[in-house]
Structure 1
Amino acid sequence: MTHVGGVQSWCLGVTLQLILAAVLHQGLATVAPPTTAQTTAAPHKDPGRPEKGNYMVTKSNGTVCLLASMALQLNISYNSLSQNKIVQDVVNLQPNLTKASGSCDLDRASLQLFTDELTHLNFTFTLNATSNKYHLSQVSLLVHWPDMKDPLSAFNGSVDELRGTLGFSYMCREEQTLSLAQNWSINTFQLQVQPFGVTGDQFGAAEECQLDEDDMLIPIIVGAALAGLVLIVLLAYFIGRKRSQAGYQTI
């Protein structure tokens, strides 16, 4: 039975290595790249996880042409009146205080979100009619909060994020960061968006982001490794038992 015990120890070691490799893979996949933004003050208090809002854009005839469901968090550096220096602030977009509008064309759709505090955020999506693929192509932001010395107006017209297929929605449950400029970025949570090919007022089938796929990979690897361990241990047990019974046979 010493042989069986050795096999079991070897199987356990291999399984632990597989599980550790899967965990390390997940950790490396979700580490965000370092930011290059420079500020002279630490961020304000963490506002916590933002609340998810549901938004839609309709055509002039009332037909829904864009759907979005997401929680948004703004990371902004600005010149503070109260502190008299550049500070970095993290602010959650509150759905109950946010209004939505926008427009839709054959190959271009926009979602505009704005609040009473003069926070105006605009997402523009572009559709490639040849490949039937769409992506987030432009993001603009205008904010003028009470503590700002001057309004912040920013625009990025070369975005290539949230890629999906016509008739399908793009989904990313995990937190992801849209790095748009040195002084501002957007964190998204539980995001699902469909800017083209909307039928009725429901999302089409979802195409999930890589972060979600990596997150689902861990339990699959662990489950497969454990199942393999159980199978090998059982096999080693029966082989050892058969050899033990053969050793006691009379000649």
Structure 2
Amino acid sequence: MKQKCTCSLFIMVLTFISIADAASDAANKGVYKVVNSTTKEPCIIFQADIYLYLTYHTSDSEKDVIVHVPTSSTADTGVSSCNVTITTSGMSVESQLLRVNLDHMNGWTIDFAFTKDNRFKTEKEKQFALYQVNITANFASDPTAFPDFKYPTQQYYLHVDPNDLSDIGGSIFASVGHSYYCPSEQKYAINDNDNDKYGPMAYIKFKLTTIQAFMEDTDSFGPKETCPTDQSTLDLVPIIVGSALAGLIVLTLVVYLIYRSFLPEEVLNLVNPEAHFDSDTASNDEIDKTSSIERF
């Protein structure tokens, strides 16, 4: 009984930890939705904690800054779209677009464009991919945080080339009807070559990420397609939990046996009288046996 209670308590603790972690994760990531104006259902749901690593020009040099996208940021309903054609690198791409307006950071936006276009290796349009990320940074909105900026506003563009997919385009994708799931940190280059055409160097980091585009008739995520980084980690979870439970059971049994070995015989008789002989009864039995032998 004691062993069963201990195991139940351990499972309850694990459950509590899981719930606490889930609540903490929910509080530490932004949730952005693009809603179809006709069906009133979302076509894009994007959940992630996002960091921007940006280089900007100063009057005589460059400066690197890290910008955390506030989790209270919102989707721009005026620009975001479930059906838009984006022209980039001389191509017209049928897309879905999410624009995030950074909360309390006037003029700061991030555009995320998704497509099923098979030019982006989407397996006969049965998959969606995040193929473009563009950032508008309004450094003039906070001169204290971004001192000595040369240009008040800076654009950062992810170069799009279907023949040479970016790290983002080759990593963030999933089957239509499924969601891309990647809780671990993932950092991608938006522009890792400092040039005037695509802006200064810029990177974006995601964590606690779940993304689904081209959704239909649902307001919740489909089955998860886990990113490679987290697949091995997730596979270890049942092994770790099972091993912990097995170890706890063995430990409980050992402690019980040690405890039992120190109990006096009188207590053991009270616990299970059928398993032990009373000393007086045993003595009488010995006398009876001796008498029987002598009579024989």
- Which TM bucket (shorter chain)? 0.5 to 0.7
Change (3 A) 1:223 1:108: same
Please tell me whether residue 178 in structure 1 is matched to residue 165 in structure 2.
no
Matched letter for residue 180 of structure 2: Y
| Matches of 2:97 and 2:178, distance apart in 1 | 17
Q: Where do 1:212-231 residues align within 5 Å?
A: 212-218=230-236
Q: What's the RMSD between the two structures over aligned residues?
A: 2.8
Q: Which has the higher contact order (CA 8 A, sep 6+)?
A: 1
Structure 1: tracts of 5 or more residues without a match: 1-49, 227-251
| Matches of 1:214 and 1:75, distance apart in 2 | 28
Match of residue 117 from structure 1: 106
Match of 1:192 among 187, 191, 210: 210
| Matches of 1:117 and 1:179, distance apart in 2 | 24
TM-score normalized with structure 1 length: 0.62
| Paired residues of 1:64 and 1:200 also in contact (CA < 8 A) | yes
Matched letter for residue 98 of structure 2: L
Match of residue 91 from structure 1: 67
Match of residue 163 from structure 1: 173
Match of 2:53 among 63, 72, 75: 75
Greater CA drift, 147-156 or 173-182: 147-156
Matched letter for residue 57 of structure 1: V
Q: Where do 1:1-251 residues align within 5 Å?
A: 51-61=28-38, 62-80=40-58, 84-101=60-77, 102-105=80-83, 107-115=94-102, 116-128=105-117, 130-146=124-140, 147=146, 148-150=149-151, 151-156=153-158, 157-158=160-161, 159=166, 160=169, 161-182=171-192, 183-218=201-236
Change (3 A) 1:125 1:220: same
Greater CA drift, 143-152 or 173-182: 143-152
Structure 2: tracts of 5 or more residues without a match: 1-26, 85-93, 119-123, 141-145, 193-200, 245-296
Note the alpha carbon deviations across 1:14-65, whole angstroms, 9 max, x for none: xxxxxxxxxxxxxxxxxxxxxxxxxxxxxxxxxxxx9301110012222321
| Matches of 1:74 and 1:125, distance apart in 2 | 20
Q: How many residues align?
A: 178
Looking at secondary structure, tell me which structure has more strand per residue. 1
Runs ≥4 residues deviating over 4 A:
217-226
State the SS of the aligned residue for 1:95.
Answer: coil
- Percent identity between matched residues is 21
TM-score normalized with structure 2 length: 0.53
Cα deviation, residue 215, structure 1: 1.8
Cα deviation, residue 221, structure 1: 7.4
Cα deviation, residue 109, structure 1: 0.8
